[in-house]
């Protein structure tokens, strides 16, 4: 095989150490291996050591979070390549840190490492913010469940009457319980809005045995939720500032059914706005894990399950797809119904999510809003096949059918001839 990079290096990155292997083919040809710590001073020494050997390209594995400090130090002086650890596994029986670094260097020299997608620094910061926001929302939901667990232990059936225990009515009742109020009538009077219509049900639900221990636990969880909500508001403000330079591109995505402002922010944070990194929409779908895997041997396809991938983008798109298919008279709704009948709802919703990501690819690449193909797109594209299938089905049911070509179709046929 031809050597594409005559002076390159492979890094085996760990939490506290880095094993680096320099591979030089051009004169004088040599190979050298050295270990470094992961402190900033040692990483700067690593950069100087690589520069002294004239390295132009450096490859490393995506090992958790440990590769990112190394990337930040080296990205200004070298062409960096981040490799998927599953794609560059070493030969079994030769697993050492030194051998791993040499193996990565050999693969890089011959151009056998496919670079992973590493967004620019502003997109990485936006991605950190959106992922932190999702984690905060998840923690708030967990504390809400814990509050309901405490209420059930006290035989307070508040969650059976109110749809949201942390809503305005629920919080007012919880604060009164913490304050020592135990009269169901007075507690039910604290309901607000439409919850007032459920007063009789609330009175019965609020008859329980609330102890001081229960009040202490409820206060603890409410205080934690208040702190999390304050942090969430700060993250939202930071997301707005980080999104300001690319806000117009994010707004384009909201023209698609099922894409809210929040979903658009997550999509932009995960894939960026420069689609030149992905040669085609298919590459982006494969990277997001929304396409079936290839698992075939001896002419038999063994599995078509979706590929494993990061959950941040995939789960958001699947959630948005469920919202999109509820929009009647749309292409996505028609696609879901068409695939659901043959492949089931789970695979159908993944296909819809892939279609939404495909549309997002072209919208971000070309800077255009979403254009729906319409609910009759598949019928128009496969009109003749649909007619034959339905006529065959009617014949199977014992019906006599005569196919009459509509006048419009006759005109189209005559003009085509």
Query: Is residue 74 in some structural domain?
Result: yes
Q: Are 310 and 289 in contact (CB under 8 A)?
A: yes
Same domain flag for 54 and 142:
no
Place 295 in a pLDDT band, splitting at 50, 70 and 90. Answer: low
Please state, in angstroms and rounded to a whole number, the distance separating the CA atoms of residues 291 and 54. 41
Instruction: Residue 194: give its domain's CATH number.
Output: 1.10.287
Same domain, 18 and 128: no
3-state secondary structure of 33: strand
pLDDT at 56 over 70: yes
pLDDT for position 415: 47
Q: How confident is the model at residue 32 (pLDDT cuts 50, 70, 90)?
A: very high
CB 237 within 8 A of CB 219: no
pLDDT tens sequence across 81-136: 999 888 888 777 778 889 899 999 999 999 999 888 888 999 999 999 999 999 99
Based on the domain organization, do 14 and 104 belong to the same domain? yes
This prediction's pTM: 0.81
Overall average pLDDT of the 14-19 stretch: 93
Average pLDDT of the chain to the nearest whole number: 89
Last residue of a domain, one of 109, 130, 150: 109
Query: Which of 210-224, 318-332, 388-402 is predicted with the least confidence, judged by mean pLDDT?
Result: 388-402
Whether 416 has a pLDDT exceeding 50, the answer reads: no
Give percent above pLDDT 70 in the chain.
Answer: 92
Q: What is the CATH number of the domain that holds 60?
A: 3.30.420.10
Tell me, yes or no, whether 80 and 157 share the same domain: no
Decide if 136 is inside a domain.
yes
Q: Is the pLDDT of residue 207 over 80?
A: yes
The verdict on 22 and 104 lying in the same domain is yes
Among candidate residues 227, 244, 261, the one where a domain is terminated: 244
Question: For residue 305, is pLDDT > 50?
Answer: yes
Asked whether residue 73 is assigned to any structural domain, the reply reads: yes
How do residues 349-375 score in pLDDT, each as one tens digit?
999 999 999 999 999 999 999 999 988
Same domain flag for 101 and 150: no
* Mean pLDDT confidence for 269-298: 86
Same domain membership, residue 135 and residue 86: no
In which residue are the tokens 């650890």 written? 85
- Domain annotation covers residue 285: no
Query: Is the pLDDT confidence value at 293 over 80?
Result: no
Residue 62 pLDDT exceeds 90: no
Angle at 46 between CA 41 and CA 47, to 5 degrees: 100
SS3 per residue for 68-111: HHHHHHHCCCCEEEEECHHHHCCCCCCCCHHHHHHHHHHHHHCC
Last residue within a domain, chosen from 244, 278, 294: 244
Please tell me the total count of domains within the chain.
3
Half-sphere exposure at residue 295, Cβ-oriented, CA atoms within 13 angstroms: 9
Name which residue leads in pLDDT, 331 or 291.
331
Q: Identify whether residues 70 and 167 lie together within a single domain.
A: no
My answer on whether 126 and 103 are in the same domain is: no
CA-closest candidate to residue 321, choices 292, 358, 284: 358
- Residue 325's CB: how many other CB atoms inside 10 A? 22
In a shared domain, residues 66 and 156: no
Is there a single domain that holds both residue 176 and residue 217? yes
* Residue at 314 is within a domain: no
| Residue span of the structural domain in which 405 resides | 382-416
Rounded to 5 degrees, what are φ and ψ at 36? -135, 155
Asked whether residue 67 carries a pLDDT value surpassing 80, the answer given is: yes
Q: Is the bond preceding 399 in cis, omega lying within 30 degrees of 0?
A: no
Helices and strands in the chain, H and E counts: 18, 7
How much is the average pLDDT of 263-283? 93
pLDDT greater than 60 at residue 407: no
Return the number of other C-beta atoms located less than 10 Å from residue 300's C-beta.
Answer: 7
Q: Are 194 and 141 part of one and the same domain?
A: yes
Residue 348 forms part of a structural domain = no
Report the range of poorest mean pLDDT among 80-89, 227-236, 323-332, 395-404: 395-404
Q: Is 122 helix (H, G, I), strand (E, B) or coil?
A: helix
The two beta strands, 30-37 and 17-24, are antiparallel
Flag whether 355 is in a domain: no
pLDDT in tens, 133-183: 999 999 999 999 999 999 999 999 998 999 899 999 999 999 999 999 989
282, part of any domain: no
CA nearest neighbour of 122 among 245, 21, 7, 13: 245
């Amino acid at each position: 095989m031809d050597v594409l990079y005559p002076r390159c290096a492979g890094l085996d990155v760990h939490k506290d150490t880095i094993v680096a292997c320099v591979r030089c083919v051009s004169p004088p040809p040599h190979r050298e291996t050295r270990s470094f710590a992961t402190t900033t001073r040692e990483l700067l020494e690593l950069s100087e050591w690589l520069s002294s050997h004239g390295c132009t390209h450096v490859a490393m594995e995506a090992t958790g979070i440990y590769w990112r400090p190394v990337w930040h130090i080296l990205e200004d002086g070298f062409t960096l390549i981040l490799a998927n650890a599953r794609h560059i596994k070493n030969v079994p029986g030769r697993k050492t840190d030194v051998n791993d670094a040499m193996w990565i260097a050999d693969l890089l020299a011959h151009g056998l490492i496919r670079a992973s997608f590493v967004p620019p620094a502003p997109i990485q910061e936006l991605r950190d913010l959106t992922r932190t926001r999702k984690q905060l929302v998840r923690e708030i939901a967990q504390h809400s469940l814990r509050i309901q667990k405490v209420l059930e232990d006290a035989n307070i059936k508040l969650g059976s009457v109110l749809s949201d225990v942390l809503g305005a009515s629920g919080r007012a009742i919880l604060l009164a319980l913490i304050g020592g109020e135990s009269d169901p009538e007075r507690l039910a009077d604290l309901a607000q809005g439409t919850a007032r219509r459920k007063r009789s049900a609330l009175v019965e639900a609020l008859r329980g045995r609330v102890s001081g221990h229960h009040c202490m636990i409820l206060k603890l969880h409410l205080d934690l939720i208040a702190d999390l909500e304050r942090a969430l508001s700060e993250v939202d403000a930071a997301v707005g500032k980080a999104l300001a330079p690319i806000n117009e591109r994010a707004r384009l995505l909201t023209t698609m059914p099922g894409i809210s402002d929040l979903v658009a922010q997550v999509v932009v944070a995960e894939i960026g706005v420069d689609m030149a990194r992905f040669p085609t929409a298919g590459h982006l779908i494969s990277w997001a894990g929304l396409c079936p895997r290839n698992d075939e041997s001896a002419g038999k396809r063994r599995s078509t399950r979706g590929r494993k991938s990061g959950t941040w983008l995939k789960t958001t798109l699947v959630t948005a797809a469920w919202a999109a298919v509820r929009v009647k008279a749309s292409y996505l709704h028609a696609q879901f119904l068409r695939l659901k009948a043959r492949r089931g709802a789970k695979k159908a919703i993944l296909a819809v999510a892939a279609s939404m990501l495909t549309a997002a690819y072209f919208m971000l690449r070309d800077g255009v809003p979403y254009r729906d193909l319409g609910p009759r797109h598949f019928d128009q594209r496969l009109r003749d096949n649909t007619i034959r299938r339905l006529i065959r089905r009617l014949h199977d049911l014992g019906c006599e059918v005569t196919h009459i070509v509509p006048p419009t179709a006759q005109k189209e046929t005559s003009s085509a001839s």
